[in-house]
Amino acid sequence: MGLWKRIQNALMPGRLDRELQQELESHREEMCADGVDERWLGQELKHREESRDIKTVVWLDCLRADVVFGLRQLGRHKLGTATAVLSLALGIGAAAATLQLIKAGFWRVMPVEKPEQLHFLRFATMNIDGKPREQDAFRTPEVKLMAAGVAGDAEMAMVGFADRQDVHFGEASRVERVSRQYVSAGFFELMGLRPEMGRLFRKEEEQPAADHRIAVIRGEYWLRRFGGEPRVIGKKIFHDGEPHVVVGVVEGDFTGTSVGNYTDLYLPMPTERPKGAQPAGRLMLRLRDGVQPAAMEQRLKALFPQVRGELSKQWAATAPKSYLEAYLNVQLKMLPAMHGMSNFHRDYRTPLTVLGLTTLLLLGLACAGVANLLLAQSTGRVREMGIRMAIGAGRLRLMQLLFVESGLLGLAGASLGLVFTLWAGPMLLRGMNPADNPVRMALATDWRLPLVGWVLALLTTVACGMLAAWRVSRVDPATAIRGEVSGKRRLGALHALLGVQIAFCVVVCFVAVLMLTTLRNLENQRLGFAVEQVLLVKTYLPQGKLEWSRWQQALERVKAAPGVQKVGLSGWPLQTGSANIGDIEIAGRRLGLGGPFTFFAAPGWLDAMAVELLEGRDFCAGGENAVVLVSEQVSREFFAGKSPIGQTVKWDGQMSRIIGVVRDLLMRDLKEETRSILYFPFGAMSQGVFSIRMNGAVREADLAARLRGMFTKEFPQLQVGLIRSQKSLIDAQLVGDRLLAAVAGFFAAVALVLAGLGIYGVFSLVVEQRRKEIAIRMAVSAGWWATARIVLRDGLGAAAVGLLGGLAGVFGAEAMMRSLVFGIVGVESTVVLPTAGVVLVAALGGLGWPLTRALRTDPALVLRSE
């Protein structure tokens, strides 16, 4: 008989058992028929088992039997099994999904030629608040001079900032939102990218005289939008009202240089603009073969301040000192660009680290929970093991049995975890940004990541199985069968695990309380202006400025549109994350960085945005010059709280008289501190944002379409940009916090359930093992409190040890999350007490049932059965 047949017999022994049985049975029948004494057949079971061992692979047969028994055993403890499997699945799935996200965001190498040669530059400077910050935006003249400085050793290209833009293909009414990025014409050559069709931008197209109205689209966008239609080449794509001819499609695997975003449309970046600020973007450079990155970094570090010194000569004499210092005092560094370059790394490093660590904590918690359950179950099965040993099972055989059971648990948890990973990865990705600006990343199905979690879970369960098995192997059958196993000594490991579990739970709950409190603080943040029912319509002129009178006409037309209640006009919207400052002189102080924000508002904007006017008046409806409104912070900061009406403010050398004071508002983002704001009258401008208060009856999309049509028809020189609601700008800021709060809240709920179940498991066992003692105590008339104390003392003791252990972790978690929380200072009692509270409630919840059982013990019944 071959090995295969024996393996088959081991795995599916039914047929073999039947045949062996039948063969002996027919022998017995013939013996009986011949009148031979049946006893001559001998020990039938022994012979059959001997034959069975010959016809199967013995260890495999044992393993199968253990698996079957293990499954049956797990089926018997449905609650425990389900908890263990689900918690492991959740722990593994969440950890693997987070790792998958971290991998896609931080470790994915761009599919370009020799990516290790690519680098990008970043420099430390001051932001408009006068605080240190890192920046990676370079202007074209800077890049031109720097490229000339390192010519021969490195090549440079500029990559603009990816942005969501509305474009159309000839029909102005059918706009679609795409991710657009300006790149210098040499970008594709620098990256070593090839066209899938048509051609890409050429380096010679960088010349100022070149026709820049061409475009390249991404392969996947071409397939999605045009179904891979070859005639897309030559099509005109309208962006900023200008037609751009599609000249090529870039190869499909390349999703762009910005992590978290897929660029659909590439436009050539002009090297210089005739007027105004020069184009800005990130600077990508490719080192030539043999050039050492460290040496190149040193050269660029020396070169950049020189370049800036050269370029600042024209305006250095007139600029405020703080501006000039911030401009010249720059610390450059060169970073590898093989993983892409974008703010994703900066914005998501901490949240993803916190998420990653929380998931690992959850995995640890799940493992500790499973360990607890297995240990508790094995302790409860000491008598069964004693019986098994008494009828001849070896210690190794028993150990294998427990190993198999724990392995099965690990396998089931890990397998379900893989399914959870597949679901959770894209779900987390969707939650990271608002729906109209999704984070897009290639979440590669890399089985190494879930495998790590899987191996971890398996190792945990097997390790726990080993501990349980080792304990079982030390059982003395005689004492075990009598049920005389000392409970207290053997429960030490369970108590320790329980403490670990509660400590993990405290940290996970603390993270959740921090995130939920932060979200609540942000949602309750007083903004100082209307958010609901406000639609923002961005309009701009591709070139030049529009006279105030025309803006005023546009205001009137918008106001007349059905569904519009009030309308205001400003230079840019509130709460977009950016703000402007200027060369300001106020109360005798000349301010640059850290000075007041400047803002342009047309008459009526205050009313439309419900910004409260505290003192003085709004701008005249007809328009006026040399006047300014200030926020109340200006009074506090510059006029010692006295009324500033009638005082003057100098901006770029022009004097303006303060005519009113308005309530403070949050201009830039939800987390900013109150800043001084100067509101200047909206005049001849190249762009304006209409802030429209809608009446409840109108739908946002209908009004947007109506206004777009109106502008195209009546103000053709004005391009209509993005139309968004003010609320969407707020929501966009909250999306990360909401995701973190939701995930952390969910994890905390799971952690609490696991901790509660852990306590329940252990103390059910305590009550079971000490029921004789409880019965005796009750029989000698000890009060209910004495009985309850047996359970409560140990239970609350373990909870207290866990809480103390967890509190140490809380300080670590708080330090790590400091940049993510808002409105909470340090480890406050407002976050620690709720955390301790919920964990205690979970602990008491877990103790409830064992306690009830202990109190309901009938001494007579227990003592009689003993």
What is the binding site for another protein (CB under 8 A)? 1, 19-20, 22-24, 26-27, 29-31, 33, 40-44, 46-48, 50-51, 54-55
Which residues, at least 6 apart from 556, have a Cβ–Cβ distance to it below 8 Å?
none
Task: Please calculate the CA angle 520-523-525 and round it to the nearest 5 degrees.
Answer: 105
Which residues, at least 6 apart from 763, have a Cβ–Cβ distance to it below 8 Å?
791, 794, 795, 846, 847, 850, 851
Q: Closest separation between CB of residue 253 and another protein, Å?
A: 57
| Complex with another protein: residue 44 or 607, whichever CB lies closer | 44
| Complex with another protein: residue 7 or 776, whichever CB lies closer | 7
Q: Closest separation between CB of residue 9 and another protein, Å?
A: 11
- The span from the first CA to the last CA of the chain, in angstroms, equals 54
Task: Please calculate the CA angle 417-418-419 and round it to the nearest 5 degrees.
Answer: 90
Distance (Å) of CA 727 to CA 432, 434, 555, 821: 17, 12, 22, 21
Residue listed under structure tokens 């109190």: 855
DSSP letters of 83-115? HHHHHHHHHHHHHHHHHHHHIIIIIPPPSSSSG
Rounded CA-CA distance 648/586 in Å is 7
Rounded CA-CA distance 679/632 in Å is 12
Q: Closest separation between CB of residue 61 and another protein, Å?
A: 15
Which residues, at least 6 apart from 317, have a Cβ–Cβ distance to it below 8 Å?
none
| Complex with another protein: residue 36 or 560, whichever CB lies closer | 36
| Complex with another protein: residue 15 or 818, whichever CB lies closer | 15
Q: Closest separation between CB of residue 5 and another protein, Å?
A: 10
Give just the sign of the alpha carbon dihedral 295, 296, 299, 304. Answer: negative
Q: Closest separation between CB of residue 12 and another protein, Å?
A: 18
Q: Closest separation between CB of residue 46 and another protein, Å?
A: 8
Q: Closest separation between CB of residue 863 and another protein, Å?
A: 49
Rounded CA-CA distance 279/68 in Å is 70
Q: Closest separation between CB of residue 41 and another protein, Å?
A: 5
| Complex with another protein: residue 33 or 391, whichever CB lies closer | 33
| Complex with another protein: residue 1 or 316, whichever CB lies closer | 1
Q: Closest separation between CB of residue 36 and another protein, Å?
A: 8
Check: CB of residue 382 under 8 Å from CB of residue 398: no
Which residues, at least 6 apart from 835, have a Cβ–Cβ distance to it below 8 Å?
506, 509, 510, 513, 810
Torsions phi, psi for 414 (to 5 deg): -65, -40
| Complex with another protein: residue 30 or 484, whichever CB lies closer | 30
Rounded CA-CA distance 765/68 in Å is 25
Check: CB of residue 102 under 8 Å from CB of residue 267: no
DSSP letters of 189-223? HHHT--EEEE----GGGGSTTS---EEEEEHHHHH
Q: Closest separation between CB of residue 51 and another protein, Å?
A: 5
Rounded CA-CA distance 432/435 in Å is 9
| Complex with another protein: residue 50 or 484, whichever CB lies closer | 50
Q: Closest separation between CB of residue 11 and another protein, Å?
A: 18
SS3 677: strand
| Complex with another protein: residue 54 or 419, whichever CB lies closer | 54
Q: Closest separation between CB of residue 48 and another protein, Å?
A: 8
Integer Rg of the chain from CA: 37
The total of other beta-carbon atoms located within 10 Å of residue 168's CB is 14
| Complex with another protein: residue 41 or 841, whichever CB lies closer | 41
Q: Closest separation between CB of residue 464 and another protein, Å?
A: 39
| Complex with another protein: residue 33 or 780, whichever CB lies closer | 33
Token pair in block for residue 615: 């003192």
Check: CB of residue 287 under 8 Å from CB of residue 117: yes
| Complex with another protein: residue 55 or 668, whichever CB lies closer | 55
Q: Closest separation between CB of residue 19 and another protein, Å?
A: 7
| Complex with another protein: residue 34 or 204, whichever CB lies closer | 34
| Complex with another protein: residue 39 or 448, whichever CB lies closer | 39
| Complex with another protein: residue 1 or 833, whichever CB lies closer | 1
Token pair in block for residue 532: 């609901």
Burial class (CB in 10 A: 0-12, 13-18, 19+), 861: exposed
Rounded CA-CA distance 435/471 in Å is 55
Q: Closest separation between CB of residue 65 and another protein, Å?
A: 20
